[in-house]
Structure 1
Amino acid sequence: MMTIKLSRTASGLIRRFTVSGHAGFGPYGSDILCAGVSAIAQTIIGSLQDLAGLDPDYVLADGDIRCELPDPASMQPQQLEAARILMDSMAVGCRQIEASYGTSYIQVKEVRYHQKGGARA
């Protein structure tokens, strides 16, 4: 199963997302759910860089995608708004896939963001 964890700050900003595992919907290398979520995540990371002018901390690996925004206090107002829209788009896209294909393949979870010690439920 693929798990998407969205870590929100107290102000509602998704500051970090992680994608782990494989959906198991199709054969390895041909799984449309894995490909779909991966495409969404990589597009968000690229858009944070190219459109918002941010330098997120990220990892792109097989079965492991992670992205964390820089400190919002270091962002210009327009960067923060772009980051909010893009990270919310990640949530919308993944929830749509979850709703279409079911939680036995993909689960989206929201947790509270904690900078030190990770995110807790």
Structure 2
Amino acid sequence: MILATFHHDEQGRITAFQLVGHARNWRLWPDMICAGVSAIGQTTIGSLQELAGVEPDYLLEDGNIRCAVQYSDDDEQSTVIAALMASTRIGCLQLEDSYGNKYVTVNDVFHGDSET
């Protein structure tokens, strides 16, 4: 199973995500789910660099993608960052809705919450 964890700040913006695990099964399509989650995460990292002009703190490993951002004082740039980070969550939620939480589970951690 892939666990997609999204950390939100006090304003509700996503400041970090981590995509961990594999959607293993005897069927071919769980590999496609893994590829989909990986593509979503890697596209966000590249888009943050190219479209938002920021260098996120990230890690790309087999079965582990992590990305964290700092929001700037520039409102326009912060809006782009927030939209890109939110799109990662939306993509993971759509995969969870389509294929079930047996393969992808989305977990939100809000500012002040402890991760469980």
The two structures, once aligned, show a CA RMSD in angstroms of: 1.9
Structure 2 unaligned spans of 5+ = none
Confirm whether residue 76 of structure 1 aligns to residue 71 of structure 2.
no
Letter in 2 for 1:68: A
State the distance in 1 between where 2:94 and 2:100 align: 10
Q: Kindly provide the CA deviation profile for residues 46-69 of structure 1, in whole angstroms up to 9, marking residues without a partner as x.
A: 000000001100000001100000
Q: Kindly provide the CA deviation profile for residues 67-86 of structure 1, in whole angstroms up to 9, marking residues without a partner as x.
A: 0002x2x3421110001110
Q: Secondary structure at the match of 2:35?
A: helix
TM-score (norm 2): 0.90
TM-score (norm 1): 0.86
State the distance in 2 between where 1:35 and 1:48 align: 20
1:16·1:113 contact (CA, 8 Å) conserved in 2?
no
Confirm whether residue 57 of structure 1 aligns to residue 53 of structure 2.
no
Aligned to 1:48: 48
State the distance in 2 between where 1:110 and 1:47 align: 22
Aligned to 2:15: 15
Q: Secondary structure at the match of 1:19?
A: strand
Confirm whether residue 105 of structure 1 aligns to residue 100 of structure 2.
no
Structure 1 unaligned spans of 5+ = none
- Post-superposition offset of 1:120: 2.5
Percent identity between the two aligned chains: 43
Q: Secondary structure at the match of 2:10?
A: coil
Q: Secondary structure at the match of 1:58?
A: strand
Aligned to 1:92: 90
Letter in 1 for 2:105: Q
1:10·1:112 contact (CA, 8 Å) conserved in 2?
yes
